[in-house]
Chains A and B, each alone.
Chain A
Amino acid sequence: EPEVTQTPSHQVTQMGQEVILRCVPISNHLYFYWYRQILGQKVEFLVSFYNNEISEKSEIFDDQFSVERPDGSNFTLKIRSTKLEDSAMYFCASSGEQYFGPGTRLTVT
Chain B
Amino acid sequence: ELKVEQNPLFLSMQEGKNYTIYCNYSTTSDRLYWYRQDPGKSLESLFVLLSNGAVKQEGRLMASLDTKARLSTLHITAAVHDLSATYFCAVDEGGGGADGLTFGKGTHLIIQP
Residues in chain A within 8 A of chain B (CB atoms): 31, 33, 35, 41-48, 50, 55-56, 58, 91, 95, 97-103
Top-7 shortest CB links A-B: A45-B100, A55-B98, A100-B43, A43-B103, A42-B105, A102-B42, A42-B103
The A interface, classified by DSSP as helix, strand, loop or mixed, is strand
Are the C-beta atoms of A46 and B43 separated by less than 8 Å?
Answer: no
Residues in chain B within 8 A of chain A (CB atoms): 33, 35, 41-45, 48, 88, 90, 92, 94, 96-106
Our count of residue pairs bridging A and B at CB distance below 8 angstroms stands at: 61
A to B CB contacts below 8 Å, 26 in the list: A31-B98, A33-B100, A35-B100, A42-B88, A42-B106, A43-B43, A43-B90, A45-B102, A45-B103, A46-B100, A47-B100, A48-B97, A48-B100, A50-B97, A55-B97, A55-B99, A56-B99, A56-B100, A91-B42, A97-B45, A98-B33, A99-B45, A100-B42, A100-B43, A102-B42, A103-B42
Smallest distance from the beta carbon of B7 to chain A beta carbons, Å? 14
Are the C-beta atoms of B98 and A48 separated by less than 8 Å?
Answer: yes
